[in-house]
A and B are shown apart, each in its own frame.
Chain A
């Protein structure tokens, strides 16, 4: 007999993942775990939309009861606060765009939960409701895109190494979202009709500015918005309130659409550009990790994805020492944002990736 931890967020995907595991468990034991990642949201906030609210805990518990598995709550507030929320805030303060879902996978779901699941529950592996697949081929685990290309979440999972992949299961990898909803309805799970959660679970109403002030005392000083020539064209409310590629909230009228091209913390400056000026063909990536443990070669071809649900673009990758690589894309890509993942694929296989660095980094 072995045990597996089913990470349950209270959403439909992880509910069905747990239900499928429980249905096919045989002699194995499935243990439902809901993680408390942060304190309660303020009054009035529509908690049921967020994956980590007390309402979500109720939903997860009800699903666990219905599919007849033990259910525990794991408090990871401290780790989540440091590794995900603080990192999220600091990313803005560095002029970068944070990637909290990837950080949560890297440090919480496939690290804290995995380690504590192994130790506390005597489990062998963690299963999540991610849309991704795993294959064991030619002596190693491979992270593969989900069957449902529209839902594929490998963009947030590229950080997983062989140890983690060997201890992971993705029960939804071969299913489409409509199939998952149908299973949830068949099993009469209370989460069957829950809407997709699009927002970041710890940012009420998508307003991250409050968080910058609460956690780091950053209220924002007004500063210049300049164009590519250095001409001042407007005033911003504080550099950390802007991210590369952002179009709205600039208050600049130049006769055509303009976008944030660069955020400069040192001078509290936001640089904007027209659509064509925000596209790039080369950028550098650091914090590289490869699911195989190392890069395929010093120089290799891969397709690269620079944001969730963006199209992949063919590129040539050149390792440039340490954990950095250079990406040269065949076509210009829209607004590579410092801090975001640049994730590499070989066909359906996710090879790994890294974080886009500032052009001056």
Chain B
């Protein structure tokens, strides 16, 4: 059985989540928009999940819009609010370390004549709220900042930024896709108007997400069709997926000790890594997700290291699964000022519910085994002997 250290890519479906979903895949087969009993039963599953999720983030159920994932939620927030507010202005602010879902959505707005400000981050990946304040103009309608970074795990000063944004009367979008698995969210404390969530980052099914849309926030739907989700997101609901999303959020709430357990495990993993030559932590040393261990390792190519570890039964990532296959180093690491050559040697390990002490030992052992071999490749050709 492999050691799975890639929970930031996807956190495997939890047993209790699957059990909550199963009746909706086997018995309650109705369309939630249908009037008959089967339809009503499906509708009940969605309503219950919506309540659980709303309660989990301090929102009202009607403020939750289900989507097909975090990326769709980000797109809906950025483009939906950007386009709805054009009578007030066409200026959007975001940061250099956002997920591609936000960055590419703002890029589309820019091509349509919007002005987009991309704020820098410091060496730890943090945005300075003062920079947000300085970038605000009378035409600014939306500010989008992630709660925690998917690659390096750095947590942003969201409440401080929310205060500034609300003071200027703009809307505040928070991509909380990574954050939600590890800490509770209070949309009012954040002063957020929009919050993106994804089920599969917290033990729910893939293909389901949600966008919190604060009451009174003008937003143009990005998918046209029927009147589902109060006409904010057309298309037949993914009933079983939404039920699973709710079950995953409910399970999180009952797991209060988990962040501390993960923090202890990831701390030990990081210590072991830093004891090796040429390893540097990326992201903020303290203000980071408890399950995230991100480093750059001098003298190795991240992709080769991930493959080598995989063959030893340790599943990791170079950074974001959504951008793997790229030859360019991570935009997040570059934005943090990390040398491009060094950034090629990025390794991200993200722990989860099943991660054990033994997994950490096995991972460190595997790293000790493969690193010297990998570092050989930049030197001379390995010695080859002809077999007798």
**Which residues from chain A sit less than 8 Å from chain B, CB to CB?**
3, 29, 31, 36, 70, 72-75, 77-78, 115-116, 118-122, 136, 139-141, 162-164, 166-167
Contacts and interface: CB of A to CB of B under 8 A. Distances in A.
B253 interface: no
A116 B386 contact: no
A127 to B, nearest CB: 16
Which of B304, B307, B310, B374 is packed against the most chain A CB atoms within 10 Å?
B307
A3 B305 CA distance: 16
B70 to A, nearest CB: 25
A114 to B, nearest CB: 8
B216 interface: no
A119 B373 contact: yes
A123 to B, nearest CB: 9
B283 interface: no
A360 B121 CA distance: 60
B307 A140 contact: no
A72 B307 contact: yes
Given A70-B310, A77-B327, A120-B374, A166 B387 contact: yes
Given A77-B327, A116-B377, A120-B377, A3 B311 contact: yes
B317 to A, nearest CB: 14
Majority SS at the chain B contact face: helix
28 contacts: A3-B311, A29-B311, A70-B311, A72-B303, A75-B325, A77-B327, A115-B377, A115-B382, A116-B377, A118-B377, A119-B304, A119-B373, A119-B376, A120-B308, A120-B377, A121-B307, A121-B311, A122-B308, A122-B311, A122-B370, A136-B387, A139-B386, A140-B386, A162-B386, A164-B384, A166-B384, A166-B385, A167-B384
B111 interface: no
Contacts of A162: 384, 386
Contact of B373 (A70, A78, A122): A122
Contacts of B307: 72, 120-121
B381 interface: yes
Nearest to A115: B377
- 9 smallest A-B Cβ distances: which pairs? A119-B377, A120-B304, A163-B384, A166-B386, A72-B307, A120-B308, A118-B382, A75-B327, A119-B374
Given A118-B382, A163-B381, A73 B308 contact: no
Contacts of A77: 327
A72 to B, nearest CB: 5
B304 A115 contact: no
Interface residues of B, number: 21
A29 B310 CA distance: 13
Contacts of A166: 384-387
A342 to B, nearest CB: 26
Which of A36, A118, A120, A162 is packed against the most chain B CB atoms within 10 Å?
A120
Contacts of B301: 120
Contacts of A140: 386
Interface string B45-81: 0000000000000000000000000000000000000
Interface string B277-308: 00000000000000000000000010111011
Given A29-B311, A167-B384, 16 more contacts: A31-B311, A70-B311, A73-B325, A116-B304, A119-B377, A119-B382, A120-B304, A120-B308, A120-B374, A121-B308, A122-B308, A122-B373, A162-B384, A163-B381, A166-B386, A166-B387
A311 B307 CA distance: 44
B282 to A, nearest CB: 21
Nearest to A72: B307
Contacts of A122: 308, 311, 370, 373
A139 B388 CA distance: 8
B324 to A, nearest CB: 9
Nearest to B375: A119
A162 B384 CA distance: 9
B310 to A, nearest CB: 7
A168 to B, nearest CB: 11
Nearest to A165: B386
Nearest to B310: A70
Nearest to B381: A115
